[in-house]
Amino acid sequence: MSAQTEYYRPETVDSVCQMLDELTDPTIVAGMQSLGLLMKEGIVSPDTLVDINGVEGLGEIERDDDHVTLGAVVNHSDVERSDVVHDAVPVLAEAAGEIADLQIRNAGTIGGATAYADPTGDYPPVLMALAATIVSRTTDDEIERDAGEFFTGFYECALGPTELLTEIRVPRVGDGEGVGYEKLAYRENDRAVVNVASYLSFDGDECETARIVVGSVSDRPIAASDAAAELVGTEVTDEELEAAAAAAAEEVPVDPDPSVSAEYRQSMVRNLAEKTLRTAREEART
């Protein structure tokens, strides 16, 4: 931070929105884990920081009959340890626990990680598989977006410059539903080389809804919608599940990576899609 940097610490969502409207080129500060690194390396040097850590109502995890709602500044450790999250959407706690190390998990926030839209992030594929809703505010509006339309490119999301991400609303995983998440990384808790989240819901023996979302192989997480659609109306037998995982690996474009071949990553997409579908099926049936 330079001596000229202006620093604000508003206490309400309304004041944040007003600042985003009125200040020149303001930058929101949440856990500072990614932003801090960018500033340290001189990649960005914001003149005006709006710290949202003291904003009323952004630090809570709440539950109703259908959803768990996580405020933007809930940190990864709180997501990982929350009884509410464990009970209603355990896969989200699992994903939070996969992020980096304890220090980063204690400071980094679910809103920051979502707004940052890191293509290797742990939350984005999970939020898409869960059909979560990302809620933001401007001075005039509250905007709700499906997670599936939120991540728009390489570190790019649908938020405009005057929008504050306020909360993430996640449907509770109920009876007959299951979700699996798997991450392949070089070392434990490192960034993902490939990560996949899959969701299945059943009506009796028949699959009603299926989603397979692949992260880290492209500029944003990609839903393998055609592959998932193959499962709908089936009983998701081993053969059907394996065929859908193979189809997902064919459907999702895999970008080249300097350290891992596209073929290897594609084979890992298939492998992780299969594993996550098995987990989702097992969870849905128990």
Ligand X SMILES: Cc1cc2nc3c(=O)[nH]c(=O)nc-3n(C[C@H](O)[C@H](O)[C@H](O)COP(=O)(O)OP(=O)(O)OC[C@H]3O[C@@H](n4cnc5c(N)ncnc54)[C@H](O)[C@@H]3O)c2cc1C
Burial class (CB in 10 A: 0-12, 13-18, 19+), 138: middle
Name which position in 115, 126, 200, 217 contacts ligand X (CB under 6 A). 115
Residues 15 and 11: their CA atoms lie apart, in Å, by 7
- Could you list the beta-strand ranges (E) of 12-159: 26-29, 48-51, 61-63, 67-71, 133-137, 142-146, 151-153, 156-157
**116 contacts ligand X (rule: CB under 6 A):** yes
Tell me the number of residues near ligand X by CB under 6 A: 30
**29 contacts ligand X (rule: CB under 6 A):** yes
CB of 54 to ligand X, least distance (A): 13
**195 contacts ligand X (rule: CB under 6 A):** no
Q: Work out the number of other CB atoms within 10 angstroms of the CB of residue 81.
A: 14
**182 contacts ligand X (rule: CB under 6 A):** no
Stretch of 82-90, 117-125, 229-237, 254-262 lying at the interface with ligand X (CB under 6 A): 117-125
Query: Residue number with the shortest CB distance to ligand X?
Result: 108
Amino acid at 98: E
**260 contacts ligand X (rule: CB under 6 A):** no
**35 contacts ligand X (rule: CB under 6 A):** yes
DSSP 214: E
CA 151 to chain centre: 9
Q: Which of these, 171, 217, 184, 177, lies nearest to 198 by C-alpha position?
A: 177
For ligand X, the closer CB: 31 or 178:
31
Q: Work out the number of other CB atoms within 10 angstroms of the CB of residue 191.
A: 18
**102 contacts ligand X (rule: CB under 6 A):** no
Indicate the pairing of strand 26-29 with strand 222-223: unpaired
For ligand X, the closer CB: 107 or 284:
107
CB of 107 to ligand X, least distance (A): 6
**221 contacts ligand X (rule: CB under 6 A):** no
Q: What is the DSSP string of 86-104?
A: HHH-HHHHHHHHTSS-HHH
For ligand X, the closer CB: 95 or 231:
95
Which residues, 62 to 81, sit near ligand X by CB under 6 A?
Answer: 72
CB of 33 to ligand X, least distance (A): 3
Binding site for ligand X (CB under 6 A): 27-35, 37, 52, 72, 99-100, 104, 108-109, 111-113, 115-116, 118, 121-123, 159, 164-165, 191
